[in-house]
A and B are shown apart, each in its own frame.
Chain A
Amino acid sequence: MALLQISEPGMSAAPHQHRLAVGIDLGTTNSLVATVRSGMSTVLQDDHGHALLPSVVRYAINGEVIVGHEAQAQQSADPANTISSVKRFMGRGIHDIVDRAHIPYRFVTSQQAQSSKMLQIDTRAGLKTPVEISAEILKTLKARAEKSLGGELVGVVITVPAYFDDAQRQATKDAARLAGLNVLRLLNEPTAAAVAYGLDNASEGTYVIYDLGGGTFDVSILRLAKGVFEVLATNGDSALGGDDFDHRIYCWVLDKVREASKNFVPLNEEDTRLLLNKARQAKEWLTDNFEAQILCKLSTGTLVDVTLTAPQLVEITEHLVTKTLSPTRKAMRDANLSIEDIHGVVLVGGATRMPHIRQAVEDFFKQEPLTNLDPDKVVALGAAIQANALVGNRSDNDLLLLDVTPLSLGLETMGGLVEKIIPRNSTLPIARAQDFTTYKDGQTAMSIHIVQGERELVSDCRSLARFDLRGIPPMAAGAARIRVTFTVDADGLLSVSAREQSTGVEAHIEVKPSYGLTEEEITNMLKASFASAATDKKARMLHEARVSAGAIIQSVNLALKNDGHLINNAEQQAIRDEVARLEAVAQADDAHAINQAVEKLNQATEAFAAARMNASVSLALSGKAINSLEM
């Protein structure tokens, strides 16, 4: 018979209608799946009692796809068809992978593959994109969850690093869809860790999430205000993790062995793996013990027997610990915070079990970090809590936690300027609309160019997409009303629509951003916007002045052509002189001078404008009986 879980008061589901939801931590090294059972977030294990699923996918000879421990074990035997750390390639183009010479996979570098912008790996089972490979990991976790919960999943929350851009988030969502999962939301990993510790129950606070995983280090600073976590700063090192500690111990052991035996031969691959394994075991053992013995026999017959003590481990890995503190310091500086501003520090990632890491973090922040949850599982646990709330298994729905847009979204206006529609750090989901108009008489189409970034000029921001709105009825410049609506869904994905209000013609685009904005680029874009605020403002003023000068020159010339006869030649010449003067000034870089010249031209045309007004009024009235006029 079916097994039941305890529900919140009044929230019992009807039979066969359990709202099963899980949280998935799709990690670079390991992935996990968790769910809330009887009010408690728990990580789901596989048949062998493993909670962690190594994020390794192997395409075997018989066509089978193997995921996890088994695939990991075969990695060195079949490197080209066994893909690990695929998360690093998500949403990336071939040009983003700078160190691909050191990666054993066969990347597709053909012209066609490059034009598709999506990276592809040539495996035994054909060309595979990172999205497809990630989908295999997600499928395995989905099967585990459905077996554990005894039913189909209603939805999942998947975590992504805070610095993931739209392309990487979209790729993650695509992978989930491919795996047959309904993504309720993508959640930032540090936010998930904070949720697991229940930090979202506080009213407000600023928290640091220190995440030292197998191969990556990320530090994020979150500010909680009114139930919304805002990412103040992120930093890290994409090539620093627990594996580096293993490697350091391995080198230390090799040195010891070399000292002991004179004719030491270099290790073969198998021995290297054996010794690395021993190093990892020693590291883990030293978390709770004073010394670890590393004892093994190499294939050459050499006996390795060395003892590593906890203080020795601290000494040989001290530089690695220090390496994590410099990104931490940078993140604090970016967020403009000092140590006293931090209300709590959360440790994430298996490597943070090492006592000297904890000590270093404690010394740095002058407070004891939160460690009572398993650092390997904390992100998945938080994602599960969020998934449970999103499918409606909780009565207090105010807990729906929101994310924010990492960068401002806007569009290009005349003169290469950015009009921001959705500012940075807006809570998601969000929809904002703004009305725009045509720039030229009789303009029947409008090109909409969507950009992302903080700078004032389009050339300094990142271009996301372009589309055209056609079929605008011909009208005088400025008469058309085109409403442009930006919508960002709860996952941070953008869609834009434009609608001409009088006729209802509409155009729409889902922004699938061009793949390949790096974390560094985002950070640099942000930094550049702060550094160049003053020059940007100047540039903006100049562009605006030029645009208005261009518009007025155009309309004055048109008016002279059509209605020039209404004024005498001397008057016409005076206006032409002012137009010429403005044209000259608009070439230079002085916004103030341009504005002054515009003002002078305005004054010079006052009489002309009045004459035109009279002429058009009398034209409209002539030949009509007074009582036929509708006033």
Chain B
Amino acid sequence: MAITLTQTAATRVEKFLANRGKGIGLRLGVKTTGCSGMAYTLEFVDEMQPEDLSFESHGVKVIVDPKSLVYIDGTELDFTKEGLNEGFKFNNPNVKDECGCGESFTV
């Protein structure tokens, strides 16, 4: 399995990286916190850790640590607009239950 980006998400990430002026890619991860167990994190990457795994999707380097990968393997990251709000969205096949807002989840 792997982590993928939609074309829209990839274009945005490229734009944000270019604007930031540094960074080698995008890190997806999972933190054990939040109202229903786990929460997603999304960060720029300046340095890779030795244990990190990396994927390539639409020209963007996606980096995940092995512990997080267990929970988000197969995820597709999308970029969408909802009304005036816009941002990234995890389409994660492992999720059994989400909190109302969708910021945290259980597997």
A-B contact count (CB 8 A): 97
Q: How far is the CB of A618 from chain B (nearest CB, A)?
A: 79
Q: How far is the CB of A610 from chain B (nearest CB, A)?
A: 77
Please tell me which one of the listed residues B19, B31, B89, B101 contacts residue A39 in the complex, with CB atoms under 8 A apart: B19
Given known contacts A12-B31, A148-B84, A1 and B42 CB-to-CB distance under 8 angstroms: no
Question: Taking the complex as formed, is B20 at the interface, i.e. its CB lies under 8 A from any CB of chain A?
Answer: yes
Question: Taking the complex as formed, is A5 at the interface, i.e. its CB lies under 8 A from any CB of chain B?
Answer: yes
Question: Taking the complex as formed, is A289 at the interface, i.e. its CB lies under 8 A from any CB of chain B?
Answer: no
Question: Taking the complex as formed, is A481 at the interface, i.e. its CB lies under 8 A from any CB of chain B?
Answer: no
Which residues of B from 89 to 105 have beta carbons under 8 Å from A?
89-90, 98-99, 101-104
| B104–A15 CB distance below 8 A | yes
| B85–A39 CB distance below 8 A | no
Which of the 9-residue segments A40-48, A160-168, A337-345, A622-630 touches chain B?
A: A40-48
Question: Taking the complex as formed, is B12 at the interface, i.e. its CB lies under 8 A from any CB of chain A?
Answer: yes
Given known contacts A9-B27, A14-B39, A39 and B44 CB-to-CB distance under 8 angstroms: yes
Question: Taking the complex as formed, is B80 at the interface, i.e. its CB lies under 8 A from any CB of chain A?
Answer: yes
| B104–A4 CB distance below 8 A | no
Please tell me which one of the listed residues A1, A11, A15, A46 contacts residue B43 in the complex, with CB atoms under 8 A apart: A11
Question: Taking the complex as formed, is A330 at the interface, i.e. its CB lies under 8 A from any CB of chain B?
Answer: no
Question: Taking the complex as formed, is B50 at the interface, i.e. its CB lies under 8 A from any CB of chain A?
Answer: no
Interface size (A, Cβ < 8 Å)? 28
Which residues of A from 1 to 31 have beta carbons under 8 Å from B?
1-12, 14-16
Assembled-state Cα–Cα distance A587/B87 (Å): 77
Assembled-state Cα–Cα distance A12/B43 (Å): 7
Which residues of B from 5 to 63 have beta carbons under 8 Å from A?
12-13, 15-16, 19-20, 26-27, 29, 31, 33-35, 39-47
Please tell me which one of the listed residues A5, A8, A40, A45 contacts residue B87 in the complex, with CB atoms under 8 A apart: A5
| A15–B101 CB distance below 8 A | yes
Please tell me which one of the listed residues B34, B41, B47 contacts residue A7 in the complex, with CB atoms under 8 A apart: B41
Question: Taking the complex as formed, is A323 at the interface, i.e. its CB lies under 8 A from any CB of chain B?
Answer: no
A interface residue numbers (CB < 8 A to B): 1-12, 14-16, 37-40, 44-47, 144, 147-150
25 A-B residue pairs with Cβ-Cβ distance under 8 Å, sorted by A, are A1-B98, A2-B102, A3-B89, A4-B40, A4-B42, A4-B88, A4-B89, A4-B103, A5-B88, A6-B43, A6-B44, A6-B88, A9-B44, A9-B47, A11-B43, A12-B41, A12-B43, A15-B33, A15-B101, A16-B34, A16-B103, A38-B87, A38-B88, A147-B84, A148-B86
